[in-house]
Structure 1
């Protein structure tokens, strides 16, 4: 565990900002700004005034998939969270238990007997078949990565998975949210359809508060944007595991923009931990970023540090989340701890519809 704080349940953002009152847009969230251990409070709409000409925002263009689909194993109802498609056509999936309110609970065990079971119990055998809408099926295989059985490989049959998601899927959501939302609510302004239909199981949420109007204002002030792609898998709301390997791409043009910003004295600010993972996967020991793509298993920790990224715009993460190690790699443990104390004191909202946190290098170190 890193930052030792407890987040009260009432600080979970239950609906998107634009649904909290008339005339509000996505950018109607608060912005906590850290420069070292100095913390300031702002509205997100003030972001253009907090950056300067020559700064570069690295943004993730991965679209969000409708990655939750109802299914059955025998007589037991399950919700399948589709995480990542492997090179061999199999999918890494998580089985969860429906809670009757449109969200899910962590899976516990699955009974495939004739009587069925109200719970999804641990130890689902290899070869078990998950029946999906439209005649599709998943044949469960071995656990992914040797870190327990939360994610399993599954081989699809009967229908193409992306078609099942388009026709029968819905965005993944958890119990702290109030209700189901259309998929458009989970798309950021930077999301681009992938040629192969790929995308993220869960929204790259740090970019959600951006609006087209705000992007135009940033560009007009001389702030540049470098697009990268990293398709995120299913996070764990309970286990706080390090991320699994994910597919990413840093284009040549974006690598050049990052290197030029660094050489010209601009600050490279990643929008989201996914953007950090992509850029740092393409950065050499000298900090030079080169075009790269494929799978990354990089976990950014304080011990590893960051090579190309100097700042980070991110949501507020649970204190046990592995993402906090990345924040500490960017800003240091003292700065992150101080910011989270202030976020709690200021009643900031957590999770994907919540407020955001901008970590910048202190003026004395840049």
Structure 2
């Protein structure tokens, strides 16, 4: 396997809160690090300057999945609801059990098949079987999504010391009909309605798809598992038009958009309308066939997402980009700065 970029992430470069938590700041008041594969150039910009970095005819493909308040906190543990299990009845979900440690949590290795856990609101969660070392297949005694809307809070990890409302974890593209992500598709978080208007006015195209993200694995760095997705016919047609006409570049907003698009590529290399579950993992060996560039956050060392970034940018450019991000003190995680990789 191609060597992946490795580095040490200093604690000081972890974003602890939304940028708009500071008086006078807005979501798009973050930095944007741009890497260009052709020249190998790395440059620094404000995210608000994104319209000036794109061309008329470029296509941004965005994820419209809305974020669930997918964590339910009990006295000593927390339950993170991830996704329903493909091919199973609607009541069976993947969940992660985490031991609460003050304001944070760590993976909890306990539990046994058929054990039931009392939940708020007189509900019960029954552990059915271990699905992975970290995740359980489990059944809640009531419908999961309405239950989470009432009793859940957004999933957060130790680098975010206080709770923020679910609205802080929604993007401007999120659609209520598409609620289903356990964690925010965070690459699109810095977009504002004003910025979208400027992009459209410049002639940049925007097309939607949906991929519902499961829970991350900040401790285990596991590859992603099966996730629900849909690439609409209109989006597939627009991607094909942009690619075949040569009038612009297809730029995915987030690794979720890449995964969905690459799943929808047929044997002839064309993006088709598709929906269902994807287990596709983008690697440097397999490459990409649907996207030309990627707008994404900065990913942790050993993260499986770095395989995808290497497939798009190449090892040399990605290494230079991350060295620049570390040297210039860019911020990581969902409330952090952003990286644009261009062909």
Shorter-chain TM-score bucket reads over 0.9
Pick aligned residue for 1:98 from 97, 100, 118? 100
Match of 1:80 in 2: 79
- Indicate yes or no: 2:313 matched with 1:331: yes
Instruction: Write the deviation string for residues 273-331 of structure 1: whole angstroms up to 9, x where unpaired.
Output: 00000000001243311000000000000011100101000000012100000000111
Match of 2:147 in 1: 164
User: In 2, Cα distance between the equivalents of 1:139 and 1:80?
Assistant: 12
- Structure 2 stretches of 5 or more lacking a match? none
Q: With the length of structure 1 as denominator, give the TM-score of the two structures.
A: 0.89
Deviation at 1:34, TM superposition (A): 0.3
Q: Which moved more, 1:284-293 or 1:319-328?
A: 284-293
Q: With the length of structure 2 as denominator, give the TM-score of the two structures.
A: 0.95
User: In 2, Cα distance between the equivalents of 1:342 and 1:289?
Assistant: 34
Pick aligned residue for 2:166 from 183, 203, 206? 183
Q: Which moved more, 1:1-10 or 1:326-335?
A: 1-10
Q: Which moved more, 1:244-253 or 1:125-134?
A: 125-134
Pick aligned residue for 2:209 from 228, 232, 247? 228
- Indicate yes or no: 2:325 matched with 1:343: yes
User: In 1, Cα distance between the equivalents of 2:113 and 2:180?
Assistant: 27
Given that 1:2 and 1:319 are in contact with CA atoms closer than 8 Å, whether structure 2 keeps it comes out as: no
Match of 1:7 in 2: 9
Match of 1:210 in 2: 191
Q: SS in structure 2 opposite 1:166? A: helix
User: In 1, Cα distance between the equivalents of 2:19 and 2:186?
Assistant: 13
Match of 1:67 in 2: 70
User: In 1, Cα distance between the equivalents of 2:213 and 2:74?
Assistant: 22
Q: SS in structure 1 opposite 2:156? A: coil
User: In 2, Cα distance between the equivalents of 1:139 and 1:55?
Assistant: 48
Pick aligned residue for 1:131 from 95, 113, 118? 118
Pick aligned residue for 1:150 from 134, 141, 145? 134
Match of 1:267 in 2: 249
Q: Which moved more, 1:254-263 or 1:47-56?
A: 254-263
The count of residues paired between Structure 1 and Structure 2 equals: 335
- Structure 1 stretches of 5 or more lacking a match? 111-123, 362-366
Given that 1:32 and 1:356 are in contact with CA atoms closer than 8 Å, whether structure 2 keeps it comes out as: yes
- Indicate yes or no: 2:56 matched with 1:53: yes
Q: SS in structure 2 opposite 1:227? A: strand
Given that 1:286 and 1:307 are in contact with CA atoms closer than 8 Å, whether structure 2 keeps it comes out as: no
Instruction: Write the deviation string for residues 5-30 of structure 1: whole angstroms up to 9, x where unpaired.
Output: 1110010000111113x221100010
Deviation at 1:149, TM superposition (A): 2.2
Give the CA RMSD over aligned residues: 1.2
Given that 1:250 and 1:293 are in contact with CA atoms closer than 8 Å, whether structure 2 keeps it comes out as: yes
